[in-house]
Structure 1
Amino acid sequence: MVEERIRQVFAGAGAEGRLHAVPVRVDTEGARGAEGTGGAEGAGGAEPDGREVAVDADTPVVIASIFKVLLALEFARQAVAGQLDPRERVRVTAADRLGGWGTAGCLDDVELSLRDLAHFAMSVSDNTAADLLLARVGLDTVQLLARELGLERTRIVGGPRDLLESMLAEVGVRDEREFAARYPALPDDRKRRLAVLDPRHTTASTPRDITRLLRLVWTDRAGPPQACALVRDLMHRQVFRHRLVSGFPDDVTVAAKTGTLPGLHMEAGVVRYPDGAHYAIAVFARTRDLAASRPTVDAAIGRAAGMAVGHLRADGEGR
């Protein structure tokens, strides 16, 4: 079975994997535009014809930066509804910076629009941009959106700064500088017990919930068509090409969002083949090695995704 072969791919990379992949029925215009938020879906979020590849697809997983898809969607919905002006200016100061990509790593204060915060949050996974955008749209509205869309196993506990502060508190340090000095000396078992790595205590979901979210966005059932189109565009802008993209031929387009924490490597997205077929995929890998960069695991994520979609395509041709 393809599921067993996928498990072997992850095992060969020293990881344990969770995966869900399903077809997305998108019309030739790029989205279906049906009324409501998911009424056409089958039980448990499966596509009507029942095709899927599921490897522990209902097991809770930490989703890290993949939560930014929901954040971007809520921003887009509010912008389309006129509840906020996407051109509204925001100043990013030293107090806001978390370190990392985009504005998070700037040395000086910068000013940009809300829509550019969304761009940086999605394209380079800018944590500072995500925090500031979340403060503007509201954590409670993002949480309500997850429930509205039927993401029953999804929980959003806060933004990147909230997760960082929980790590600081657990390690017993006051700031990022102290954390950077103390964290490397912690025993690995202690690191693995951090709440941000446990789906019972942090922002979490399941692979099946995440592919449901993607299908709703790609078929204009997650909100107004303009809002869904904006999220799709933002996901196409992601610059990281080392996970899902690696598993597909050059003529397959991938719109996705990565997530990374120590020992956790993940990506979720939608791939489009030249024949117009679309597939939603969510892949999560956990390793005992807590290194943030694991090229062999990244390659396994791509290979597993490619195998899953290849199976769905072959199954579809046989029907």
Structure 2
Amino acid sequence: MVEERIGEIFRRAGISGSLHVTDVDAPAREVAVRADESVVIASVFKILLVLEFARQVVAGQLDPVERVLVRAEDRLGGWGIAGCSDDVEVSLRDLAYFAMSVTDNTAADLLLRRVGADVLPMLAAELELPRTRIVGGPRQLVETMLADVGARTEAEFARIFPTLSDERIRAMRVLDPAHTTSSTARELTRLVALIWRDEAGPAAACAMVRELMARQIFWTRLAAGFPPGVRVAGKTGTLPGLHLEAGAAEYPDGRRYAIAVVARIDGLSTRRIDVDLAMGEAARTAVEALRGD
């Protein structure tokens, strides 16, 4: 069975994971491996964030070219403008681009302030994602991490973190689905499928999200598993010991598949190419099973 093959892929890479893959246009056709387990989703929440931004733009509530000044006190660690040394001025639309393409936490935090943090739980409820919970944005998660290790600043956190035991790190709230932003693999594929079917909001808003997800630069997870000619769009999430991605694969024959893969590993590394490649292999294995039905 395909589930057994996926389990073997996970075992070879030392993964304890969950997976859900469904045909976008025939959702009853699925491959599920522990798909209903609650999981931390980390930066994958940015799909909901950018979707809400796109919906507000299409509704005329936000001007996508509105300018935002990013100052030193706004910056969180990470990629994109998060790593800039000087003040930067960008549009709301470019904040959405940076948040999705390079998982820029500063961009996501500023965009969340503009769309309204209280709106995302309501959006999840509207889209019938009852087990998807949003607990603040990147800044709230960073503040939680600092508090959990007793650090006052990010620099102090960077000094303390390498000295912590694995047990202490795994006890942090940011790694506990009950205390942080979380969902299930099944609900993540539902979200992706709704966006790909233009059912998560106006068609123009869904198209905007699809285009931004296709511009993600990280290719070693889902995208690595598929052959040339298959268009893969997605959003990664990464925390110590946790690798995940949700997205879609579009084949030249027009068939489309929503995919979510969550990989938990014994170690706490965030750079495990073997784990990333196994995620892509598992995704492709599930999709090929659906295509062969």
Same fold (TM over 0.5): yes
1:242 maps to 2:220: yes
Listed as ranges, the matches of 1:32-111 within 5 Å are 47=27, 50-111=28-89
In structure 2, what is the Cα distance between the partners aligned to 1:239 and 1:295?
15
Q: Secondary structure at the match of 1:158?
A: coil
1:22 maps to 2:31: no
| Runs (4+) off by over 2 Å | none
Residue number in structure 2 paired with 1:268: 246
The offset of 1:98, in angstroms, is 1.1
Could you give the per-residue CA deviations for residues 213-256 of structure 1, whole angstroms, max 9, x where no partner exists? 01111111100111011000100110110100111101111010
Aligned pair partner of 2:274 in 268, 287, 296:
296
In structure 2, what is the Cα distance between the partners aligned to 1:95 and 1:121?
18
Listed as ranges, the matches of 1:302-317 within 5 Å are 302-315=280-293
Residue number in structure 1 paired with 2:122: 144
In structure 1, what is the Cα distance between the partners aligned to 2:288 and 2:196?
20
In structure 2, what is the Cα distance between the partners aligned to 1:24 and 1:15?
26
In structure 1, what is the Cα distance between the partners aligned to 2:36 and 2:204?
30
The offset of 1:177, in angstroms, is 0.6
Residue number in structure 1 paired with 2:148: 170
Q: Which ranges of structure 2 fall in alignment gaps of 5 or more residues? A: none
The offset of 1:102, in angstroms, is 0.5
In structure 1, what is the Cα distance between the partners aligned to 2:11 and 2:156?
35
In structure 1, what is the Cα distance between the partners aligned to 2:234 and 2:188?
11
In structure 1, what is the Cα distance between the partners aligned to 2:120 and 2:61?
14
One-letter amino acid of the structure 1 residue matched with residue 15 of structure 2: A
**Percent identity of paired positions between Structure 1 and Structure 2:** 65
Residue number in structure 2 paired with 1:7: 7
In structure 1, what is the Cα distance between the partners aligned to 2:67 and 2:4?
50
The offset of 1:90, in angstroms, is 0.3
In structure 2, what is the Cα distance between the partners aligned to 1:62 and 1:97?
23
Q: Secondary structure at the match of 2:43?
A: helix
Q: Secondary structure at the match of 2:216?
A: coil
1:203 maps to 2:205: no
- Number of residues of Structure 1 aligned to a counterpart in Structure 2: 293
Could you give the per-residue CA deviations for residues 285-304 of structure 1, whole angstroms, max 9, x where no partner exists? 00110011011100110000
Residue number in structure 2 paired with 1:161: 139
Residue number in structure 2 paired with 1:30: none
Q: Secondary structure at the match of 1:70?
A: helix
Residue number in structure 1 paired with 2:198: 220
Report the TM-score, using the length of structure 2 for normalisation.
0.99
The offset of 1:7, in angstroms, is 1.2
In structure 1, what is the Cα distance between the partners aligned to 2:79 and 2:148?
25
The offset of 1:260, in angstroms, is 0.3
1:123 maps to 2:101: yes
Residue number in structure 2 paired with 1:28: none
Q: Secondary structure at the match of 2:289?
A: helix
Q: Secondary structure at the match of 1:51?
A: strand
CA RMSD of aligned residues (A): 0.8
Q: Secondary structure at the match of 2:148?
A: helix
In structure 2, what is the Cα distance between the partners aligned to 1:7 and 1:106?
41
